[in-house]
Chain A
């Protein structure tokens, strides 16, 4: 039975083996370690002790009152951080979509010869380190930064507007950093768009808004979905931006996880939180795939 199979397609698997091995070891290996760690006990000064424990997972959702161990409640602190991460990431995605759409539209409607230049300009920020870009934003919005200095010189305001260390600063930073990730898939979708349909829409007396809503948006929807995923996933794990622009005053998930592996010295809890974040991300991806499948189905039907 085996021989013909081997002669048929089996050897192709053999050729794939190196790639598969690398994928298994490099992608699943560390993940498995994190999963295993989340079920162990915290070691002294960091690290883990090889004793099975579900305490890490328990502490993700619940907290025993520090002073009355029998009193168990929801872990408000962790839930607040979770909620803030998801909420800020969603807002970032929305802002990127809102700003990315006109940008991508602008590029897609240039003559083909100049489009490359515009695309090239969009990708330029990627050449700079994320931390540097974040510090650049800080220079713009800090109390003695560009915006405040200009506004004060012009006499618009008397004292600087506090922008640093607020949720606004985090949002601004993340939107700036992740915007290209939204523009590129949107552009890809628009480039493939059939502009004859837009003309047809006008011919049928559709207003500009109606054309946008009924003709253009449905066609670039895959771009929106892909861009949203590309923005949402790194945003939810963002560490540097909330750290620098949020001033560490309010944590996001990445910071909470880092705290457990650093000063908190509770690796199992950190590992459990990291796994939970993975679940959120996978959840978002599943929604994405469903949405894509539904669209494909609709197109066929």
Chain B
């Protein structure tokens, strides 16, 4: 009897030892965002296995890591959340001894407001939130937020808007000439009125599978550039517009958690995705740019000259980085949003 218990205990210790073995790194990332090929190559090169766990929103990820006891090494939050992660001490600075390829980050993405000098994070993928339009239904200028916020007759009742409060609010605030976290009451009032008037013309507020557009459920929408590209590849009457009044830019960034159990492996993984040929795998899978110099050469042909990925020069300036607004401003946004969704 004693022997059995001892054996069982040994077996149990064996399995726990396995979980903490040297060859593991635990990645906590958005769902359907991690290229399996990337992980295979990393394992081939380093012998380290990558375990991926999905999250579905920044808030979920933040809440779970705050609780502790998660066992993850790497997390991939969006730009607007990075400052919160850093100030709360949830991330650790990148180790310059292991993460040596930081120079590969495109210069415009190094001194970003959310992590100046890239001390904690490296780019995973970035993109824009713009307007997708079925040009067989509407053939006017598509670089216009008004298509969503004050829709023309042919698009009314056929619009889908992603249910992302921050994107919708940003689009509407820029439309009325405000700054992202403005406290200007006149602007916010105009934003609320515009949204309340626009909403009856929206068919859905859905993350909207690509196939809903392809199949013609929606004729226009507020959507992400990479997803819009997937729509166009299956139905070429769709085009992606960049609202001239301003549209949100976003970037998801990989960082090592402060209490990462496999810190060195995590740093190695961070360094690995900084190499252009590896970053290109991320882009090929998720259909978003990655912010690494030279990776475009390794991307699929459809990515290279896609109008959704390659922002037209004259519209690039209208893209604006997101910002985590102060609690009182966010509170107003939530109230407007609730009123819109009621």
Contact = CB atoms under 8 A, between A and B. Distances in A.
A63 B334 CA distance: 12
B204 interface: yes
Interface in B187-220: 188-189, 192, 202-206, 212, 215-217
A288 to B, nearest CB: 29
B342 A77 contact: yes
B165 A144 contact: no
A47 B205 contact: no
B1 interface: no
A144 B215 CA distance: 7
Interface in B302-342: 324, 327, 330-332, 334-339, 341-342
Contacts of B335: 63, 66
Contact of B338 (A164, A261, A264): A264
B2 interface: no
Given A164-B217, A263-B337, A247 B59 contact: no
Given A66-B188, A248-B163, A42 B327 contact: yes
A76 B62 CA distance: 31
Nearest to B59: A262
29 contacts: A42-B327, A45-B62, A45-B84, A45-B324, A46-B63, A66-B188, A66-B189, A66-B332, A67-B189, A76-B342, A77-B341, A80-B342, A143-B215, A144-B216, A164-B217, A165-B204, A247-B206, A248-B206, A249-B206, A249-B341, A259-B341, A260-B334, A263-B165, A263-B166, A263-B334, A263-B337, A264-B165, A264-B338, A265-B330
Contacts of A251: 341-342
B3 interface: no
Given A45-B62, A249-B203, 15 more contacts: A47-B63, A47-B66, A66-B188, A66-B192, A78-B338, A143-B217, A249-B202, A250-B341, A256-B338, A259-B337, A262-B59, A262-B60, A263-B59, A264-B165, A264-B337
Given A45-B84, A47-B66, A266-B331, A248 B188 contact: no
Given A45-B324, A248-B163, A143 B216 contact: yes
A81 interface: yes
Nearest to B203: A165
A249 B334 CA distance: 16
A66 B328 CA distance: 11
B51 interface: no
A261 B204 CA distance: 22
Nearest to B192: A66
Interface residues of A, number: 33
Contacts of B205: 247-249
A77 B339 contact: yes
A44 interface: yes
B192 A247 contact: no
A122 B59 CA distance: 39
B81 interface: yes
Contact of B334 (A78, A144, A248, A265): A265
A263 B66 CA distance: 17
A72 B341 CA distance: 20
List of 9 A-B pairs having minimum Cβ-Cβ separation, nearest first: A247-B204, A77-B342, A264-B334, A248-B205, A165-B204, A263-B165, A144-B215, A45-B84, A247-B206
Contacts of B330: 265
B57 interface: yes
B62 A46 contact: yes
Contacts of A47: 63, 66
Interface string A55-73: 0000000010011000000
Contacts of A162: 203
Contacts of A142: 212, 215, 217
B263 to A, nearest CB: 25
Nearest to B326: A44
Nearest to A247: B204
A64 to B, nearest CB: 9
A266 B334 contact: yes
Contacts of A63: 335
Interface in A236-287: 247-251, 256, 259-266
